[in-house]
Amino acid sequence: MGKLRIHNFSISLDGYGAGPEQSRANPLGVGGESLHEWAVATQTFQKMLGKSGGATGVDDGYIQRGFANIGAWILGRNMFGPIRGPWPDDQWKGWWGDNPPYHAPVFVLTNHPRPSIAMDGGTTFHFVTDGAEAALRHAREAANGQDVRLGGGASTIRQYVTAGLVDEMHLAVAPVLLGSGEHLLGGIDLPKLGYRVTEHVPTPHVTHIVLTKNA
């Protein structure tokens, strides 16, 4: 059975995965975009945007690792879009346009049913209304032995981590203070859950931390 992995999830020095006042115009909240400047600067991220250029090196290597051996994804609803409550229509199809960078089945946690959406490039969004563990079962079946990547956001990651379901978690700690927003790990006893630090790699732009759950 494949692992459940988190990659390239950026947090501030004070532990926030998004800033306050998230909206459609400001999906990462006030100050939230600053968490991801390191990633946007990489060659792999620029390629995802359909552009050329970008930096290679350690940061780019971590971005690339996040796509290796991934057969399916899980996203919280906020990572799919800003709409709350029942879906008003089928117009919104995600933040990334017609060709999202997932290139695999993506299972979106929601309380409101919606038909699956097939996108360009091999991405299909499936909307799961029966909980996090059900989404993981569906994702593992779709991944067919490969790993499943948990994309976020913070509340979704907290749900899977506290349930002991995440095997590996890569956090990118940005030199930014947000002060408020969505805190990622507050109140979670990671050592008690069996997590330990297995990588700690600083670069000029961010510090990469990998946490691995004991077998």
What lies within 8 Å, CB to CB, of 33 at 6+ separation is none
Cβ-based neighbour number of residue 38 at 10 Å: 26
Residue 23 is predicted with a pLDDT of: 75
Residue 15 is predicted with a pLDDT of: 97
Query: Is 186 contained in some domain?
Result: yes
Residue 115 and residue 38: Cα distance in Å, rounded? 35
Confidence of residue 9 (pLDDT cuts 50, 70, 90): very high
**Phi/psi at 40 (nearest 5 deg)?**
-60, -30
Query: Is 40 contained in some domain?
Result: yes
Query: Is 117 contained in some domain?
Result: yes
Residue 111 is predicted with a pLDDT of: 94
The full length of the chain comes to 215
pLDDT in tens, 25-76: 788 888 899 999 999 999 999 998 889 999 999 999 999 999 999 999 999 9
Query: Is 91 contained in some domain?
Result: no
Residue 87 is predicted with a pLDDT of: 86
CATH code for the domain of 201: 3.40.430.10
pLDDT at 90 over 90: no
Query: Is 92 contained in some domain?
Result: no
If one compares 118 and 86, the residue with the highest pLDDT of the two is 118
Contact 80, 72 (CB under 8 A): no
Query: Domain span at residue 170?
Result: 4-17+27-84+99-213
Percent of the chain with pLDDT over 70: 100
Report the number of distinct structural domains present in the chain.
1
Residue 143 and residue 161: Cα distance in Å, rounded? 20
Query: Is 112 contained in some domain?
Result: yes
